[in-house]
Chains A and B, each alone.
Chain A
Amino acid sequence: EPEVTQTPSHQVTQMGQEVILRCVPISNHLYFYWYRQILGQKVEFLVSFYNNEISEKSEIFDDQFSVERPDGSNFTLKIRSTKLEDSAMYFCASSEVGRTNTGELFFGEGSRLTVL
């Protein structure tokens, strides 16, 4: 069964360092997303991406964050200068459709980021 894959599964970094989280969405999906979940809290939307550009982003997704699709398969989330409060589980997700509000949306296994 096709799945969304994420690397690394866990990353520990020092405050102020840059971090890149990688995702390989399901191959025929066109819409990609990043969500995050701070420990013990709700899952929160960060950004959606379609046709090589950001479709929507939340207030959390400030100038420290960026996304790109550097090749035909990877979808990355970069945090330029990590802060302690960036410690969270980051989930990549993809869906076949996005402009209509229907259809399934699949998540990867998550990348746990710990900022020290």
Chain B
Amino acid sequence: AQKITQTQPGMFVQEKEAVTLDCTYDTSDQSYGLFWYKQPSSGEMIFLIYQGSYDEQNATEGRYSLNFQKARKSANLVISASQLGDSAMYFCAMSFLLGSARQLTFGSGTQLTVLP
């Protein structure tokens, strides 16, 4: 069974500093995708970054980068130069095939607070 673990229920970071949000996963599949989503207090789910299991390079999107360590089954999100607007819940998710369809399983989330 697929499982995503986020061990940090809450994190604090000073504005302009970098922060790493942890995510580990468990799967026996060889092909899978890893996602990070941001959920502000308003509730929407904002896609941040995606890493495929066969991608050799770590994914980057602006201030977001995904530190993918396949052997350790970890997919940590690094946010550089934190901004006050980064304060939100962050979810790590993994996609897998169930039958003929892909679906995501989510972690429990990390609440990030950026301090001025």
Contact = CB atoms under 8 A, between A and B. Distances in A.
Chain B interface SS verdict (over half): strand
B92 to A, nearest CB: 11
B33 A107 contact: no
24 contacts: A31-B101, A31-B102, A42-B106, A42-B109, A43-B45, A45-B103, A48-B101, A48-B103, A55-B99, A56-B98, A56-B101, A95-B102, A101-B33, A101-B95, A101-B97, A102-B31, A102-B33, A105-B35, A105-B95, A105-B104, A107-B47, A109-B43, A109-B45, A112-B43
A55 B101 contact: yes
Interface residues of B, number: 31
Nearest to B98: A56
Contact of A99 (B33, B102, B108): B102
A105 B93 CA distance: 11
Contacts of B44: 107-110
Interface of A: 31, 33, 35, 42-45, 48, 50, 55-56, 89, 91, 95, 97-110, 112
